[in-house]
């Protein structure tokens, strides 16, 4: 935390920037949810950029010297050219860039649009939508010529990316949104100068173990005959939800949240993302889940075996949307394959 | 239980007794048989020998009709005639196995505005439906007039258990469904060794000597076992054994008078239905003398002693019914 | 996709006890089959993680073949059945990613069934030739850049207006 | 770039590889690949010169990893691992690329084959840099052995091991050892009396100080692994105190409860409620069968208790459970006979004079229910003609497709015995092929031919009592197609013998499950290799002997039992066993205790520690299949030598030419 003389306002406090790219705003609220401690943040940091809460312009940031921002919490995925530009700019200006929240970390819900294409998305938003009346089929155009000259709006990309797929980041704080106590823990560590782990997309403010480790529900050996959607059953209290046929992602999801959802009978949806050493959260889920689906025995006829397993797996609705709900943009496949016209090919019935 | 019903040509004519008795017992058995509208001949045996494709198209037309008309039903078609049952099953099976055949047949069906997806309709024999869907317990409850002391030779013929493919309902070589059914009705069932042998089929028209010899064997064997009646489930078998019994007697100098009845007729009798409603009386070999036994009380004198002879070796224990 | 002939690349995961031996035997018996399968030996098909399959598809394979012992004959009792369960679910998911069903296949080949394995490779090669290359990085990850997205949105608009014209003429 | 120094060696295998793969090109290209320090091609890598080349490079060039592109690892992996080890490199720092069986031998397209070889080499290189040194696992061997099944296989193996000085627990389900062989009268082709050759060995087992015989006992549970199994055995209540019983047989004589003996006499004879299966039974103690015992059924009788001179009858006896510690297990569980009732058209159970081969075996046995008289079911009339039907249940796709291997020979033996005892009786053998391939078997067939047995080649359609012609009245008629003359034949006979085949034990799947082994489609235990390892199984320390592996006759059974015994003795004498370290391990710092893996292990090698909330793999029980490794959602389980990193790197390597190496700039 040096370079005080080059910092924008020069009041001696470390400089903090908070930015939202493609996101819902929940991460900002999570920051405010640290409660009284927000005053301590204000005490400790000088806020130099926070579009949601303070009146700074992009131009202001451009004018800051490089590396003058001590800490930048960047939430939101990279969905448009504007997001990408700001990612590069904030990278350039920041000493420590943190992918804050699931969107910046792994694409999160915006990333699910990688299961479709930009053109399909436009079609859904601006045309094939019951609440839209758009007879002229007007779509956002990146360049519009008006008498005064050309107007530009950002390009809407075909594929959503995470922050670290665009620029290197020092740290990642997972969660949709990150839990306030952990946000505070990280900020506090930075304020007090406590040692942080070696940078390089390093996860902080979360556990290195899966949610199950924090989950108080009783766990047994797992044999599952079929799966249920949450509305179909009322889970037995106190028992592992997965064992009851609810597609709980806790087994393959980083902990740190305190297993808030399973505690109240709601399956973990996977928002804290993948664990260290895992390359693909969805693939790991498939492997784990399919392993304990107790259908098919060695003595079965081969065709019958395939049929029975097929039927059991059919009770898992929308596997891509379930297993990659938060992690799509960070998965190995990253996005759906589309035809030359941008249409999504060969989707099968579940997404039709 | 609602099924499409495919009577077939024989039941319209010489086997009308089979049709009549089927309809008569369907009611107490709670089987709803809805006759297929506009059905056509299954082609019997000959047509398949002439040209396969027209034969399958002819058969499949009925399956296509059944698929269209089976709304609310269970996608099953019931045939009482063994040949019809075999042809319908076979056409469906071969079309499932060969998409090429299915495509050709469908081209033919399209001319009549029909189409058929193999596997849509399951063909059942009437015996299978009565024994396995209705069930022996339900039948037993309905018996008011048990056929005690009537010695019955259950005769299946060679076709009904030998499609040999999916949904086969009984052993191909040694079927027992009708044996069990007759036992439930109270009859004494003989272990008829020729139960799945051939009745001669259409050989009566082609080479009568061959046919008469085959019929003779069946009659002789039934007679050796003192059968009062041969019970059958196939119009062809009934016709050959019944109508040619006289010719056999002439040819071989024998004197057989064994009435040949449909199993549905005996079911009807056991249920207390009047003989006329069951088409009894239409047979050539008079069934009345044999049926005079019906309604008697069981004869208990004939039960064998537990061991006949001290030196005799024990007979192997058969697996109980229900096992294997 | 492309009409020019291409040589597909298949990653083959072969179990040590049945299918790798079947492949060995195919060689020993000099069975000729398409040189398109690049083999990876695993102890059991149960060791084939779905992420291996996804990885292979992402890194440029046009197809993945998993080969194991017949169900009931697994050397680890029922590893192949676990593999079949994972494969079934994986395929359901890959369909959502627009990956054709035929690109990931599972085949049971006992140690003696070299022909089964060789035929499976040949058959899959033909199928993949008909489907065209997958080559995920080029065609999917780098294939639809920003410019294309812009062009596509213009296409959408053009198509919508054309449709309205047709509607109006009626 | 890693600091690993990889040596790549491309083998010509004479012309086997070099003819199709441009080996020089592969080697030259390999030299320029990442991590590769040296790459060479050589005529025969497996030769001592080839191996020395590897050793020399390891020492002189400081290689840390070795890749050999040659034949199948099943052929020469161990060879080159040895070379690495001799040069001071851990044997697991080696990887083989199989460019012969999987490449050069399967195509004639030189260009594609060369490209494929490069991919395989690159894959091996990328993989090998992630290899880790592993140590073979030493496992101490408990010198006690468990043998399951007291037929001739179990008896032979037990005596072999006991004679070598090691202790054996022999567990037998029935009250006596002896198995099927004890039921048989004579053995083919030598016509030795089975009892004469078997009973001395049974006695040896009963008296051997190194053998604990647990008859009338069943296996309940097996835990542990090679060298250290814990086995739970249920010793069923005999109601006879073995410590007091002298085996005098007074109780049997006085017992009023008589019942059909459906086990030893296969339903052809009777036994008492307190009984020994046969007079020479070992152990000599009788058993009370509660189902037929009048006391157990009706609450009074106790005749046996009254007459027993040593007061050995104990109606209060309960099942006993024993816990045994053993190092190795031999399964010699034998076979079941095909149930002739399955084929109703052959009339067994319906037609009185249709017999099974085992019934006939008991009938001709002088100690059997007819004292060796060949008679019809009436118990008195000798048959004037006998039809023997081969392949009942065998070589038939409706039942068992395989050949049961013993029926031809015992059917010939029957024909001979009938001729011997009833010289005027005609014997007809209905066969598909006569399979007489053992030592002196063919000669025996000729002898039976010369004795006048009729041989009719063709499968029998049915056996019926429906006479067609006068000569058939009162007979059983065998209808068959005689394929040698191309005619249907009807042979009327007095007696029919069904030569029923052999099938796997009805509970073989459950037994296999107990031991973590596999069964084939027919329910026979799967050997590790059908030719080279016929008595080993995939479960280390579990061996199989005899007909539980597949149909076989006595000589082969005895040979297998001896082989299994010598495998066990060899393990015991080594004291410890070195095992491949390809095992799974759970990192307790990454395990979240989700328990997904807990019931995936077919060997029950994973335990859950409820206190620490982590799962653990018992290394010695793990067989290294990797099912749990793949399943772990936290990637907390590593499969040694098949880690995700190793496989993922290999995938990248083999796809080197179709991967785009430009950084990912997805939009």
Determine contact, residues B200/B125, Cβ cutoff 8 Å.
Answer: no
Chain D residues near residue B311 by CB distance under 8 angstroms: 378-380
Q: How far is B298 from chain D (nearest CA, A)?
A: 24
Please give the pLDDT value at position A7: 43
B314: chain D residues, CB-CB within 8 Å: 260, 267-270
Q: Say how many CB pairs under 8 Å bridge C and D.
A: 165
Counted residue by residue, chain C has a size of: 170
Give the sign of the dihedral formed by CA B99, CA B100, CA B102, CA B106: positive
Span D517-524, average pLDDT: 80
Q: Does A118 reach chain C within 8 Å, measured CB to CB?
A: yes
Residue A136 is predicted with a pLDDT of 86
In this complex, the residue of D345, D369, D467 whose CB is nearest that of residue B174 is D345
C10, C11, C12, C27: which to substitute to probe chain D, counting the most D Cβ within 10 Å? C27
| pLDDT tens-digit readout, A222-242 | 999 889 999 999 999 999 999
- Given a contact cutoff of 8 angstroms between Cβ atoms, the answer to whether D299 and D198 are in contact is no
Answer yes or no: do C27 and D105 touch at CB < 8 A. yes
- Per-residue pLDDT reduced to its tens digit, D15-52: 999 999 999 999 999 999 999 999 999 999 999 999 99
pLDDT confidence of residue C148? 54
Q: What is the pLDDT of residue A195?
A: 87
Which stretch of DSSP H or E encloses residue A284? Answer: helix A281-292
For residue B321, pLDDT beyond 50: no
Neighbours of A18 (CB within 10 A): 24
pLDDT at residue A340 greater than cutoff 50: yes
Interface list for chain D against chain B, based on CB atoms closer than 8 Å: 260, 262, 267-270, 341-345, 348-350, 352, 356, 359, 369-370, 375, 377-380, 462, 464-468
CB of C145 less than 8 A from some CB of A: yes
Instruction: Compare all CA atoms of chain A with the CA of D520 and give the residue at the minimum distance.
Output: A299
String of DSSP letters for D444-496: HHHHHHHTT-EEEES-EEEEE----SGGGTTSEEEEEEETTTTEEEEEEESEE
Residues D6-134+648-654, CATH architecture: 3-Layer(aba) Sandwich (3.40)
CB contact under 8 A, B313 and D341: no
Of D105, D629, D658, the CB nearest to C28: D105
Q: Please check the confidence at residue D65 and state whether its pLDDT lies above 50.
A: yes
Cβ–Cβ below 8 Å for A338 and C98: yes
Per-residue pLDDT at C169: 57
Partners of A118 on chain C (C-beta within 8 Å) are 144, 149, 152-153
Q: Give the closest of B224, B311, B316 to D349, CB-based.
A: B316
* Segment D416-429 mean pLDDT: 97
Task: Quick: pLDDT tens for B110-142.
Answer: 999 999 999 899 999 999 999 999 999 999 999
List chain B residues with CB under 8 Å of D380: 311
CATH ID of D584-640, from 1.20.120.420, 3.40.50.11540, 3.90.1150.10, 3.30.70.20: 3.30.70.20
Residues of C in contact with A136 (CB under 8 A): 161
CB contact under 8 A, C145 and D667: yes
What pLDDT, on the 0 to 100 scale, is given for residue C137? 84
What is the overall mean pLDDT for chain D?
Answer: 94
Rounded to whole angstroms, the maximal C-alpha distance in chain C is: 70
In chain D, the residue whose alpha carbon lies closest to the alpha carbon of A283 is: D633
Q: Residue C3: its pLDDT value, please?
A: 46
Q: Is A94 helix (H, G, I), strand (E, B) or coil?
A: strand
Q: A266 touching C, CB under 8 A?
A: no
Chain C neighbors of A347, CB-CB under 8 A? 95-96, 98
A235, A239, A241, A242 alpha-carbon torsion, rounded to 10°: -130
Cβ neighbours of A15 (radius 10 Å): 26
Token pair recorded at residue C122: 């040949």
pLDDT score for C2: 43
Please list every residue in chain B whose beta carbon sits closer than 8 Å to the beta carbon of residue D379: 309, 311-313
Residue D352: strand, helix, or coil: coil
Residue C141: band (very low, low, confident or very high) from pLDDT cuts 50, 70, 90: confident
Check pLDDT > 60 for residue A341: no
Task: Give the mutation candidate from D634, D635, D659 for the A interface (greatest A CB count, under 10 A).
Answer: D634
In C32-69, which positions are buried (b, 16+ CB within 10 angstroms) versus exposed (e)?
ebbbbbbbbbbbbbbbbbbbbbbbbbbbbbbbbbbbbb
Would the CB atoms of D74 and C20 count as touching at under 8 Å? yes
Q: How many CB pairs under 8 A join B and D?
A: 62
The phi-psi region of residue A338 (left if phi > 0; otherwise alpha if psi is between -120 and 50; otherwise beta) is: beta
**Which chains have at least 3 CB atom pairs separated by less than 8 Å from chain C?**
A, D
pLDDT bucket at D181, cuts 50 / 70 / 90: very high
Q: Chain A: give the shortest CA distance to residue D135, in Å.
A: 24
User: CA of A6, closest CA in chain D: separation in Å?
Assistant: 33
Helix and strand tally (H, E) in chain A?
A: 12, 10
Q: Which residues of D touch B164 (CB under 8 A)?
A: none
Residue D562: burial class (beta carbons within 10 Å; 0-12, 13-18, 19+): middle
Total CB pairs under 8 A between chain A and C: 194
Name the CATH code of domain B136-291 (choices 3.40.50.300, 3.40.50.11810, 3.30.70.100, 3.40.50.1220): 3.40.50.11810
- Lowest-pLDDT range, B191-200, D361-370, D656-665? D656-665
User: Which token pair is D543?
Assistant: 């061996």
CB atoms D377 and B311 under 8 Å = no
Nearest to D626 among C34, C42, C60 (CB): C42
For A222, nearest residue in chain D (alpha carbons): D596
**Is residue B317 pLDDT above 90, yes or no?**
no
pLDDT tens digits along B30-86: 999 999 999 999 987 777 777 888 899 999 999 999 999 876 678 999 999 999 999
Q: What is the CATH number of domain B2-126?
A: 1.20.1050.140
For domain A4-110+160-203, give the CATH superfamily. NADH:ubiquinone oxidoreductase-like, 20kDa subunit (3.40.50.700)
Chains B and D touch (3+ CB pairs under 8 A): yes
- Search chain B and give the residue with CA nearest D377: B313
- CATH topology (fold) of C10-134: Rossmann fold (3.40.50)
Cβ of C146 and A299 within 8 Å?
no
Contact list, B312 vs chain D (CB under 8 Å): 377-379
Name the residue in chain A with its Cα closest to that of C164. Answer: A135
pLDDT reported for residue B308: 52
Chains adjacent to A (≥3 CB pairs closer than 8 angstroms): C, D
Q: List Cβ<8 Å contacts ≥24 apart for B131-140.
A: B131/B169, B131/B177, B131/B178, B131/B180, B131/B181, B132/B169, B132/B177, B133/B1, B133/B31, B134/B1, B134/B29, B134/B30, B134/B31, B136/B180, B136/B181, B136/B184, B138/B29, B138/B30, B139/B29, B139/B181, B139/B184, B139/B185, B139/B267, B140/B184
Cα dihedral across residues D609, D615, D618, D623: positive or negative: positive
pLDDT confidence bin for D524, thresholds 50/70/90:
very high
Interface contacts A/D by beta carbons within 8 Å: 85
**CB nearest to D518's CB, from C36, C77, C141:** C77
**Partner-chain contact A292 D667, CB within 8 Å:** no
Distance from CA of B319 to the nearest CA of D (A): 8
Angle at B146 between CA B140 and CA B149, to 5 degrees: 130
Residue of C nearest to A114 (CA): C97
pLDDT band at C152 (very low <50, low <70, confident <90, very high): low
Q: Which of A196, A233, A239, A200 is nearest to A221 (CA)?
A: A239
* B319 pLDDT above the threshold of 70: no
- In chain A, where the domains are located: 4-110+160-203, 120-157, 211-317
What are the sequence ranges of the domains in chain C? 10-134, 142-170
The third-level CATH classification (topology) of the domain covering D336-503 is FAD/NAD(P)-binding domain (3.50.50)
Alpha helices in D313-422 (DSSP H): 357-364, 407-421
CB–CB contact D634 A252 (8 Å)? yes
pLDDT band at D666 (very low <50, low <70, confident <90, very high): very low
Facing residue for C38 by CB, picked from D120, D626, D659: D120
* Residues in chain D closer than 8 A to B194 (CB atoms): 464, 466
**Token reading at A280:** 């693909």
Helices D110-128 and D23-31 sit at what angle, rounded to 10 degrees? 40
Confidence of residue D433 (pLDDT cuts 50, 70, 90): very high
Instruction: Give the pLDDT confidence of A261-288 residue by residue, as tens digits.
Output: 999 999 999 999 999 989 999 999 999 9
Residue-range domain boundaries for chain D: 6-134+648-654, 336-503, 584-640
Contact C42 D526 (CB under 8 A): no
Residue-wise pLDDT tens digits, C1-20: 444 568 999 999 999 988 99
């Amino acid at each position: 935390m040096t370079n005080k003389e080059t910092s924008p306002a020069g009041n001696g406090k470390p400089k903090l920037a908070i930015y939202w790219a493609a996101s819902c705003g929940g991460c900002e609220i999570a920051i405010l949810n640290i409660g009284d401690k927000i005053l301590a943040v204000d005490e400790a940091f000088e806020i130099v950029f926070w579009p949601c809460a303070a009146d700074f312009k992009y131009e202001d940031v451009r004018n800051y010297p490089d590396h003058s921002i001590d800490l930048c919490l960047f939430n939101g995925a990279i969905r448009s050219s504007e997001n990408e530009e700001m990612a590069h700019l904030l990278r350039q200006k920041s000493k420590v860039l943190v992918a804050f929240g699931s969107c910046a970390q792994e694409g999160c819900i915006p990333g699910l649009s990688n299961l479709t294409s930009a053109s399909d998305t436009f079609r859904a938003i601006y045309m094939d939508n019951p609440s839209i009346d758009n007879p002229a089929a007007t779509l956002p155009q990146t360049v519009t010529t008006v008498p005064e000259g050309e107007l530009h709006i950002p390009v809407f990309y075909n594929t959503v990316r995470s922050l670290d797929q665009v620029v290197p980041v020092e740290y990642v704080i997972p969660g949709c949104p990150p839990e306030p106590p952990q946000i505070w823990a990280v900020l506090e560590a930075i304020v007090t100068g406590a040692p942080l782990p070696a940078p390089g997309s390093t996860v902080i403010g979360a556990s290195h173990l899966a949610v199950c480790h924090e989950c108080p529900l009783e766990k047994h050996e797992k044999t599952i005959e079929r799966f249920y959607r949450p509305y179909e059953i009322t889970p037995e209290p106190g028992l592992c939800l997965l064992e009851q046929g609810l597609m709980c992602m806790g087994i393959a999801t980083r902990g740190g949240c305190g297993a808030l959802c399973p505690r109240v009978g709601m399956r973990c949806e996977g928002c804290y993302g993948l664990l260290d050493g895992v390359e693909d959260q969805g693939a790991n889920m498939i492997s784990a889940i399919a392993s304990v689906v107790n259908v098919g025995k060695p003595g079965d006829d081969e065709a019958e075996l395939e049929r029975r397993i097929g039927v059991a797996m059919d009770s898992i609705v929308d596997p891509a949307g379930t297993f990659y709900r938060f992690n799509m943009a960070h998965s190995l496949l990253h996005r759906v394959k589309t035809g030359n016209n941008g249409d999504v090919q060969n989707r099968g019935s579940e997404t039709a | 239980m609602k099924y499409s019903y495919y009577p077939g040509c024989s039941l319209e004519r010489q086997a009308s007794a089979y049709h009549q008795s089927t309809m008569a017992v369907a009611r107490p058995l709670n089987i709803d048989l809805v006759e297929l509208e506009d059905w056509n001949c299954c082609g019997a045996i000959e047509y398949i020998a002439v040209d396969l494709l027209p034969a399958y198209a002819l058969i499949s037309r009925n399956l296509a009709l059944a698929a269209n008309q089976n709304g609310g039903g269970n996608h099953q078609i019931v045939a009482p005639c063994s040949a019809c049952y075999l042809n319908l099953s076979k056409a469906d099976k071969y079309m499932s196995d060969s998409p090429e055949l299915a495509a050709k047949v469908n081209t033919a069906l399209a001319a009549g505005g029909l189409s058929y997806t193999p596997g849509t309709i399951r063909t059942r024999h009437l015996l299978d439906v009565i024994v396995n869907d209705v069930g022996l317990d339900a039948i037993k409850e309905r018996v008011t007039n048990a056929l005690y002391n009537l010695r019955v030779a259950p005769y299946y013929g060679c076709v009904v258990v030998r499609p040999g493919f999916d949904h086969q309902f009984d052993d191909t070589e040694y079927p027992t469904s009708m044996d069990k059914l007759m036992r439930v009705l109270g009859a004494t069932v003989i272990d008829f060794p020729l139960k799945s042998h051939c009745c001669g089929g259409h050989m009566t028209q082609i080479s009568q000597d061959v046919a008469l010899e085959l019929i003779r064997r069946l009659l002789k064997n039934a007679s050796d076992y003192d059968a009062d009646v041969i019970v059958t489930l196939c119009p062809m078998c009934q016709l050959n054994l019944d109508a040619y019994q006289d010719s056999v007697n002439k040819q071989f100098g024998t004197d057989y008078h064994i009435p040949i009845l449909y199993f549905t007729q005996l079911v009807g009798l056991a249920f207390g239905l009047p003989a006329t409603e069951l088409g009894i009386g239409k047979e050539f070999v008079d069934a009345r003398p044999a049926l005079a036994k019906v309604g008697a009380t069981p004869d208990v004198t004939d039960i064998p002693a537990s061991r006949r002879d001290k030196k005799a070796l024990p007979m192997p224990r058969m697996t109980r019914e229900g096992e294997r | 996709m492309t009409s020019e002939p291409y040589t597909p690349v298949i990653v083959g995961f072969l179990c040590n006890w049945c299918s790798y031996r079947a492949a060995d035997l195919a060689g020993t018996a000099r069975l000729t089959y398409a040189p398109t399968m690049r083999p990876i030996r695993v102890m059991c098909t149960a060791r084939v993680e779905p992420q291996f399959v996804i990885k292979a598809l992402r890194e440029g394979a046009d197809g993945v073949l998993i080969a194991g012992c017949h169900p009931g004959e697994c050397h680890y009792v029922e590893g192949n059945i676990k593999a079949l369960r994972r494969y079934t679910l994986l395929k359901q998911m890959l369909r959502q990613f627009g990956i054709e069903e035929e690109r990931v296949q599972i085949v049971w080949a006992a140690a003696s069934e070299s022909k089964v394995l060789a035929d499976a490779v040949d058959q899959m090669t033909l199928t993949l030739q008909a489907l065209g290359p997958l080559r995920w990085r080029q065609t999917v990850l780098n294939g639809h850049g920003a410019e294309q997205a812009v062009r596509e949105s213009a296409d959408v608009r053009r198509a919508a207006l054309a449709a309205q014209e047709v509607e109006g003429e009626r | 770039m890693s600091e690993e120094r990889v040596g790549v060696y491309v083998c010509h295998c004479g012309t086997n590889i070099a003819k199709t793969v441009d080996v020089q090109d592969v080697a030259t290209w390999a030299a320029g690949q990442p991590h590769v320090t040296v790459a060479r091609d050589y005529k025969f890598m497996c030769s001592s010169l080839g191996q020395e080349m590897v050793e020399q490079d390891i020492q002189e060039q400081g290689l840390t990893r070795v890749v050999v592109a040659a034949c199948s690892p099943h052929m020469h992996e161990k060879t080159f691992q040895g070379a690495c080890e001799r040069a001071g490199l851990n044997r697991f720092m080696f990887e083989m690329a199989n460019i012969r069986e999987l490449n050069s031998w399967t195509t004639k397209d030189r260009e594609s084959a060369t490209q494929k070889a490069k991919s395989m080499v690159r894959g091996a290189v990328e993989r090998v840099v992630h290899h880790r040194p592993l140590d073979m696992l030493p496992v101490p061997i408990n010198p006690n052995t468990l043998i399951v099944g007291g037929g001739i296989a179990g008896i032979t193996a037990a005596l072999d091991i006991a004679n070598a000085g090691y202790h054996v627990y022999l567990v037998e389900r029935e009250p006596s050892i002896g198995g099927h062989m004890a039921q048989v009268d004579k053995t083919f082709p030598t016509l030795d009396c089975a009892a004469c050759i078997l009973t001395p060995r049974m006695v040896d087992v009963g008296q051997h100080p190194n053998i604990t015989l647990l008859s009338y006992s069943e296996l309940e549970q097996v835990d542990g692994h090679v060298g250290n199994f814990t086995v739970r055995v249920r010793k069923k209540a005999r109601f006879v105190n073995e410590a007091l019983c002298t085996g005098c047989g007074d109780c049997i004589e006085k017992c009023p409860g008589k019942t059909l003996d459906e086990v030893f006499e296969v339903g052809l004879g009777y036994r008492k409620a307190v009984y020994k299966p046969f007079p020479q039974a070992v152990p000599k103690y009788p058993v009370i069968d509660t189902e037929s015992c009048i006391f157990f059924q009706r609450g009074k009788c106790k005749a046996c208790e009254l007459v027993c001179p040593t007061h050995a009858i104990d109606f209060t006896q309960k099942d006993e459970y024993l816990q045994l510690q053993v190092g190795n297990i031999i399964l010699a569980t034998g076979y079941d006979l095909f149930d002739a009732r399955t084929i109703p058209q052959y009339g067994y159970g319906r037609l009185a004079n249709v017999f099974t081969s085992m019934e006939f075996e008991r009938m001709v046995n002088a100690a059997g229910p007819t004292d060796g008289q060949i008679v019809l079911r009436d118990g008195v009339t000798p048959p004037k003609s006998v039809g023997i039907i081969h392949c009942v249940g065998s070589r038939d796709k409706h039942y068992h497709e395989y050949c049961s291997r013993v029926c031809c020979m015992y059917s010939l033996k029957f024909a001979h015995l009938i001729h011997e005892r009833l010289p005027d009786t005609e014997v007809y053998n209905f066969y598909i092929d006569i399979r007489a391939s053992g030592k002196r078997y063919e000669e025996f067939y000729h002898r039976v031919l010369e004795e006048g047995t009729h041989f009719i080649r063709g499968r029998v359609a049915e056996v019926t009592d429906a006479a067609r012609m006068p000569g058939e009245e009162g007979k059983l008629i065998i209808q068959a197609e005689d394929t040698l003359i191309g005619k249907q034949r009807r042979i009327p006979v007095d007696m029919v013998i069904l030569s029923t085949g052999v099938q796997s034990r009805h509970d073989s799947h459950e037994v296999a499950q107990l031991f973590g082994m596999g069964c084939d489609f027919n329910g026979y235990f799967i050997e590790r290799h059908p030719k080279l390892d016929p008595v080993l199984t995939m479960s280390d320390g579990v061996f199989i002997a005899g007909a539980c592996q597949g149909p076989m006759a006595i000589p082969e059974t005895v040979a297998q039992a001896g082989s299994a015994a010598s495998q066990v003795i060899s393990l015991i004498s080594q004291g410890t066993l070195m095992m491949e370290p390809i095992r799974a391990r759970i990192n307790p710092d990454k395990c979240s205790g989700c328990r997904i893996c807990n019931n995936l292990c077919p060997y029950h090698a994973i335990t859950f520690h409820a206190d620490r909330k982590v799962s653990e793999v018992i290394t010695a029980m793990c067989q290294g299949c990797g099912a749990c490794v793949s399943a772990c959602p936290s990637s907390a389980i590593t499969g040694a030598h098949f880690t995700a990193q190793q496989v993922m790197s290999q995938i990248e390597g083999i796809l080197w030419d179709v991967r785009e190496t430009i950084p990912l700039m997805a939009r």
